Amino acid sequence: MRNLLAFLFILMLVSCKTEDPNKKFETFKDTFIESYWKMYPERASNAGYHAYDNVLSIPNEDNRKRQLEFSDSLLNELSKHDHNKLSPNNKTDYYIIENRLKGTKWQISEERAFEWNPSVYNIAGDFSKMLSENYDSIDVRLRNFSLRLKYVPAYYEAAKQNIKQPTVAHTNLAIQQNKGGLSVFNTDLIAAINTSGLKDEEKKELEKRAQDAVAAIEDYIKFLTDYKHEEPRTTRLGNDLYAKKFQYNIQSGYNVEQIFQKANDRKQYLHGKMSELADEMWPKYFENNAKPQDSLIKIKMIIDKISLSHAHPDSFQIEIEKQIPELEKFVTEKNLLYLDPSKPLVVRKEPDYMAGVAGASISAPGPYDKGGNTYYNVGSLSGWDKDAAESYLREYNDYMLQILNIHEAIPGHYTQLVYSNQSPSMIKSLFGNGTMIEGWAVYTELMMLENGYGNNSPELWMMYYKWHLRTVCNTILDISVHTKNMSEEEGLKLLTYEAFQETAEAKGKWNRVTVTSVQLCSYFTGFTEIYDLREEMKNKLQDKFDLKTFHEKFLSYGSAPVKFIREMMLAELN
Ligand code: ZN
Ligand code: ZN
């Protein structure tokens, strides 16, 4: 008996050792990702995992049933892990996986966009990437392209079956986008075939399948064009769906009403600050001329004057490039956070396939392409029409360009990316929290100015406030349109009169908010959560608070929702 007990005891010890909760969870994560790609082949291709390039999922009832079963079974697997026993990195991965699976169930059973949003059916983007991205030889890519094409007629047949009471706006969007995608299967495909080494019969087969796919897309366009909208659904999401979508997509510690209140308070605050700055700068720009009664008009007049200070079309790129080392120097000298000198940002002229989108953006290698460089793509204005270039340069004037560089590069998106790569997590690279990522970039804009970047120039502060007001008003607009019945007239007035936007920009934003929801809130919500967390930590730590330590600690958790980072930072304090 004693021997048996001793034996059992040893057995327990052994099994405890092999059952290290983190190791067990790592294994689970690997199988989760593998099975996720199998369930969602197009998402796998998009993430740079090309094992399923030859299939396309058919969006029918059977597929939705399988997605629900998949989510339930993985949630069940997940529940076998005790998240309290996991490392911070694994714990946040646990929450991210759980949120994604629950979100999928909600999308299928409650949101049901597959019924009312015809624009969810569009294959052109995924197929286009197979032609333009050089992850494999053109022959291999075209053979998979050909196999995947076989599913297209069934795909659009299922789409037609799904559609019930679609909104007019999403119907029109679907018509426009599917028409726009047709060239992928004509001109783009022909050009790719001509550079390939496919055999004649392979080419013939591919061309035949492409014709069938085009016919299926055209048939779908006709179906939507002829659609009789009796009592069409409204594009406004409504309180209940909006609250849930906000919960799954934003993953904030605040709810919709709290964020709405905070955004309105912030707008008031910014208007007050901008009015003070306008008074301060008035004599410089308008001498003794009388100020208008309306303070928003007064602010707009000053903004218009400051916007005249801008780069020449030919020097636009050079101006952007010149600022990067200055930002690095400032961050280091002011001890704001550590910048890894072995990972400098590679600035490049934007590649041709991105042309037309001037400004600047970060291109980071995907999670399956670890060796790749991270680039800062700087757009060129060459070939732009004179008026368009002038209007663009006024918007991205000398002051705004600096804010843009802070946001996109240092210490914004680029710096965050370097930090997140230090706690490598495939889950966060693939399903990272966009609210945290955008929130960090927006937070750094203010943080840099608070610490004296730009020598407290009133022009720079004014332009920062205008830029920040855009994220604030986007949030107010999104919530108001989807849950508070805001009219187009009210929406445009908010953007032009209260946020100082040009009419063209405001109209574009209005179109966007009618066909999307929630995403426009991510920037301000993330900013607010990070800012509030910093103030909370300051209060708790008093003299012991150190900004650099706070930033580095915050970023060390990777692209996780801020509410979980907060939970772990507070736990570590106690
Ligand atoms: Zn000009
Ligand atoms: Zn951003």
Give the span between the Cα atoms of 147 and 142, in whole angstroms: 9
- Per-residue b or e along 380-400, where b marks 16 or more CB atoms closer than 10 Å to that residue's CB: ebeebeeeebeebbbbbbbbb
What pLDDT is recorded for position 341? 84
User: Are the C-beta atoms of 367 and 430 separated by less than 8 Å?
Assistant: yes
Shortest-distance ligand to the CA of residue 397? 1
Query: How distant, in Å, are the alpha carbons of 266, 312, 348, 403, 475 from that of 320?
Result: 29, 12, 11, 11, 28
Dist. CA 305 → ligand 1 center (Å):
10
Dist. CA 319 → ligand 1 center (Å):
15
β-bridge partners, 348: 377
Dist. CA 379 → ligand 1 center (Å):
18
Dist. CA 310 → ligand 1 center (Å):
6
Query: How distant, in Å, are the alpha carbons of 50, 259, 323, 467, 554 from that of 222?
Result: 33, 42, 51, 42, 51
Dist. CA 18 → ligand 2 center (Å):
43
Dist. CA 380 → ligand 1 center (Å):
17
Shortest-distance ligand to the CA of residue 309? 1
Shortest-distance ligand to the CA of residue 361? 2
Shortest-distance ligand to the CA of residue 435? 2
Shortest-distance ligand to the CA of residue 470? 2
What pLDDT is recorded for position 145? 98
Dist. CA 440 → ligand 2 center (Å):
9
Shortest-distance ligand to the CA of residue 526? 2
Shortest-distance ligand to the CA of residue 312? 1
What pLDDT is recorded for position 525? 98
Dist. CA 408 → ligand 2 center (Å):
6
Mean pLDDT computed over every residue of the chain: 93
Dist. CA 8 → ligand 2 center (Å):
56
Dist. CA 556 → ligand 1 center (Å):
43
Q: How many CB atoms lie within 10 A of CB 510?
A: 17
Shortest-distance ligand to the CA of residue 390? 1
Dist. CA 530 → ligand 2 center (Å):
15
What pLDDT is recorded for position 161? 98
Shortest-distance ligand to the CA of residue 523? 2
Shortest-distance ligand to the CA of residue 316? 1
Shortest-distance ligand to the CA of residue 392? 1
Shortest-distance ligand to the CA of residue 306? 1
Dist. CA 294 → ligand 1 center (Å):
26
Dist. CA 137 → ligand 1 center (Å):
46
Dist. CA 414 → ligand 2 center (Å):
10
What pLDDT is recorded for position 562? 97
Dist. CA 499 → ligand 1 center (Å):
22
pTM of the model as a whole: 0.92
Which regions of the chain are under pLDDT 50? none
Give the angle subtended at the CA of 395 by the CAs of 389 and 397, to the nearest 5°: 90
Shortest-distance ligand to the CA of residue 519? 2
Dist. CA 414 → ligand 1 center (Å):
30
Shortest-distance ligand to the CA of residue 436? 2
Q: How many CB atoms lie within 10 A of CB 456?
A: 10
Dist. CA 200 → ligand 2 center (Å):
46
Dist. CA 15 → ligand 2 center (Å):
46
Dist. CA 272 → ligand 2 center (Å):
26
Residue 103 makes CB contacts below 8 A (sequence gap 6+) with 248, 249
Residues of the chain by 3-state class (helix, strand, coil), percent to 5: 70, 0, 25
Dist. CA 225 → ligand 2 center (Å):
36
Dist. CA 197 → ligand 2 center (Å):
41
Where does 247-359 show beta strands of DSSP type E? Answer: 346-349
Shortest-distance ligand to the CA of residue 442? 2
Question: What is the layout of strands, in order, in the sheet containing 360-363?
Answer: 346-349, 375-378, 360-363
Dist. CA 413 → ligand 2 center (Å):
7
pLDDT in tens, 227-280: 999 989 999 999 999 999 999 999 999 999 999 999 999 999 999 999 999 999
Dist. CA 150 → ligand 2 center (Å):
38
Shortest-distance ligand to the CA of residue 313? 1
Shortest-distance ligand to the CA of residue 307? 1
Dist. CA 102 → ligand 2 center (Å):
26
Residue type, 314: D
DSSP state of 348: E
What pLDDT is recorded for position 342? 81
Shortest-distance ligand to the CA of residue 311? 1
Shortest-distance ligand to the CA of residue 391? 1
